[in-house]
Structure formats: structure tokens, C-alpha cells
Structure 1
Amino acid sequence: MNGTQYIDAPWGVSVFGAASVDAAPDVARLRVAIKQTRQKPGEAFEVTRGAVNQIREVVRGHGIPDTAVSTSRLNLESSWSYGGERKFLGYECTASFVIELRELDILETVLVDVVEAGANQVDGVEFDVSTKKELRAQARTAAVAAAREKAALYAEAAGVRLGPVIHIKDVDSDQLQNSYRGHARGGGSGGEGDLAPGKISVTAGVVLGFSLISG
């Protein structure tokens, strides 16, 4: 049995409860990169810097603030071909960006314009929801209710009554997504890697321990 589903020293009954709250995404993050190869390091930096500036201008033209654009990686390395003979191709400069959009209806337009401005690599589109904290709180409340309902069923079947809660153990939400999807109410998926946003599922899980009262 997985360690998240039991209490080391139970005093009565311990139960696992999970819940999922779905929401339409309202945030998209575009992950794009510029890769340019030139014979000299300075040339590679210069041409990449020019493309970076063009992309920033394009993004500003769509009303996206500079704070919504972050450079996640800037790298320079030697580039070689590995065919019949190893050949030096030049210095490859890579600048990676994450562009956060709050207006999803302009997503495709922004993506096309960014590529035309010089981004020659698209690493993906990730959808998210800005109210995740509030949704997580709702899911946690629902998970507690699910655990309590399950405990009451067990107690009734065993001919006892539930006492007070004497133990609460949170279940890591990332672990829950991977291991307990089948337990969650109203599953669902985000739209990661797809231009159709779909929905975002925010899950929560909890293990509750109750004391038991005879009769």
C-alpha cells in the first residue's frame, strides 16, 4: 500500500479522499527560442540579439507588457556536423523566451508573428489558470467531504459511530495527479501542448483519521 494512503499509528479509521475542480484556462505561456549559427561568437550574439529585439517589439505591438516576457535561457556553443567527416559549422547562439498571454483569443496571431520576427523554434504552449490557489482550496474542501463520507460509510457498516477527526494528512497534488487520478471526482486534462485550451483540472487529496465510538 502506498505511504500516502495510511496512517502509521491509526487510532480508529483512516480514509483517503480526493477531489478535482475544473476551470477554463485564462493564461497561456508560449515557449519559443531563437537559434542562430555564425562563424564568430560575436556575430552569433549580434544576429540573435537583433531577433530578440524584433520579437520584443512584436510582443509590445500586441499590448503585452515587457514583464510578461522572460528570457529563460541564453546559450552559446560550438556547432559541428557529424556526417562522414566531423566539420565545424560555427557558433550557435540560443535565446529562449516564455511569453505569458492573458488574452487567449490572440494566441495564434502572436505565435505566427513571433515566428515571423525570428523565433525559429517553438517548444510548446502551456495553458494555466490564474485562480489556481482558489480552485485548490475548493478541491481541498471537497476532498475532505469525500473522505468524511467514506469514513461514515465504513463506520455505519461496522456498527460504530465516527468520533472527532484526530489526524489530517495532506497528499501532494503532483503525486495525486500521477497516482490517484482514478480516485478524483470529475477528472479532466489541461491543454498543454495544444492550441485548443480544453480545461484545467486542479486536484487535492487528504487522509483523515477519525476516532470511533461504540454503539
Structure 2
Amino acid sequence: MRKTIAILGLMMAVATPGWADGAGDARLTVTGQGLAQVEPDMARISLGVTKQATEASAALDQVADVAQAVFARLTEAGVEARDMQSSQINLSPRYDHNRNSDGPPKLVGFTANTMVSVRARDLTKLGSIMTAVTADGANQLNGLQFDLQDRGPTEDAARADAVKDAMARAKVLADAAGVKLGAIMSIHEGGGRAPAPVYGRMAMEAAPSDMPIAAGELEIGSSVTMVFELNEE
């Protein structure tokens, strides 16, 4: 798996103006950031099935039939049961507000829909999976997000570079101020940057055969705030 590391830094320095009884009580606070770029090895897909019928039970039955076909297709494609999940099932009435302008709207049917969340661990099959489930009746794509099956090593690399960034910036500031860095008083880790979804909500009624998918790279970030003691040169 190819990895490249980029460093992006923002910092804030705060030091007290004087020295107490010859002892260094000044502090320097620096925030450093690290950014790790890595190729993804899995994807999370959110698929939707929506059907309409005059009866509520018929709408639900149609959605259930399509969902069952989608699960079967995913299983044939090698997706394990643990990587498939029904996230929600909704049923709502449909009204015609134009048929009875002098009275309440007329109930004309029902809309049922369900969402299926899928984890694809083989990205080479991602395009064919999406095309296949569309053919089986899935008609909405609510999200496609690339990720890593094990994010630990990449997150650790970003953390390490955030610390290096903070220490390098602290040294530059101390040298410029004519003081010497002392002991590290504290290290506080900030929030990391999670991968962002690639696609938003879109219709899937006319998906091409074996839809091409470009995974690109993920950017996983980390930030740390370090406080250094300052001593006189």
C-alpha cells in the first residue's frame, strides 16, 4: 500500500514576558499538524430501494422483494453477511391534493423505502456490484465513502508527523526569540480528519454497465498541541 506523508502546520505561540527569580517560567504553546495520504482498500455504500403501490402491504412487499434480490446479488459477489445491513424501513401515505379541491386531499397510495448499507472490501468489484444491484431494483445511491480496513498505522503516521511539526516550529520560534527550549510540559492530541464521502445522493436508474469508480487517495490528519518550558540562553 503506497503512502505519502504531507505536513500542514498551524501554530500559536504564547510566552510570558519575564523571568521569575532566574528560573524559567515562560511557556511556549505550539500546534502542529500532520497529514497522511494513503490509497483506500474498502468502500462503504448506502443504497436505497423505493416503491409505490395503492396498498401499504403491496408497497412493502415490493421493497422486500427487491431488498432480498440485492442481498442475494451481494452474496454472489462475495460480500459477507457481516458487511450488509438494513439501516431503515419507511412507509408513508401519498395524497392527491388536486382531485378534491373543496375537501381534504385524497389518499391515493403508499410509498415504501428501505436503505441498505454495504461494506465492499474488494474495490476491484465495486463498479460491478453497484451495476448489479441497480439491475436488481436498487434505485438510489445515498453515499459512497472510501476508507481503510485498518486505519491504525496511517493514523499513527499522521500523529508522529504532527509531533515533528510542532517541535520544529517550537525550535524556530525559540531561536528567533533568543531563548532555549526546555522540557515538554504537556502534549494534547486534537481531532483527526476523517475521509469525506465521494458522492452525494443521486439516482441510479440509468447506471452504465460496470460503472467506473476512481478510488483516489484518502487524507487522514492529526493535530497535537505541545507546551514547552523556555529557558534563558
Q: Which runs of 5+ in 2 are unaligned?
A: 1-10, 17-24, 201-212
Q: Conserved in 2, the CA contact under 8 Å of 1:5 and 1:207?
A: no
TM-score, length of structure 1 as denominator length: 0.84
Instruction: After TM superposition, give the deviation of residue 83 of structure 1 in Å.
Output: 5.9
For 1:22, the equivalent position in structure 2 comes to: 37
Larger helix proportion of the pair: 1
Identify if the C-alpha distance between structure 1 residues 6 and 162 changes in structure 2 by more than 3 Å, giving closer, same or farther: closer
- CA offsets per residue over residues 95-127 of structure 1, 9 Å max, x none? 101111111111111101101111111112111
For 1:38, the equivalent position in structure 2 comes to: 53
Matched residue of 2:40: which SS?
coil
Distance, in Å, in 2 between the alignment partners of 1:89 and 1:24 is 49
Q: Conserved in 2, the CA contact under 8 Å of 1:191 and 1:198?
A: no
For 1:201, the equivalent position in structure 2 comes to: 219
Query: What is the number of equivalent residue pairs in this alignment?
Result: 198
From 172, 176, 191, the counterpart of 1:157: 176
Q: What does residue range 34-113 of structure 1 map to in structure 2 within 5 Å?
A: 34-81=49-96, 86-113=105-132
From 121, 135, 138, the counterpart of 1:119: 138
Distance, in Å, in 2 between the alignment partners of 1:146 and 1:214 is 23
For 1:181, the equivalent position in structure 2 comes to: none
Distance, in Å, in 2 between the alignment partners of 1:159 and 1:12 is 14
Matched residue of 1:162: which SS?
strand
Instruction: After TM superposition, give the deviation of residue 164 of structure 1 in Å.
Output: 0.9
Matched residue of 2:73: which SS?
helix
Distance, in Å, in 2 between the alignment partners of 1:103 and 1:88 is 45
**Aligned amino acid, residue 33 of structure 1:** G
Instruction: After TM superposition, give the deviation of residue 81 of structure 1 in Å.
Output: 4.6
For 2:147, the equivalent position in structure 1 comes to: 128
Q: Which runs of 5+ in 1 are unaligned?
A: 178-188
TM-score, length of structure 2 as denominator length: 0.78
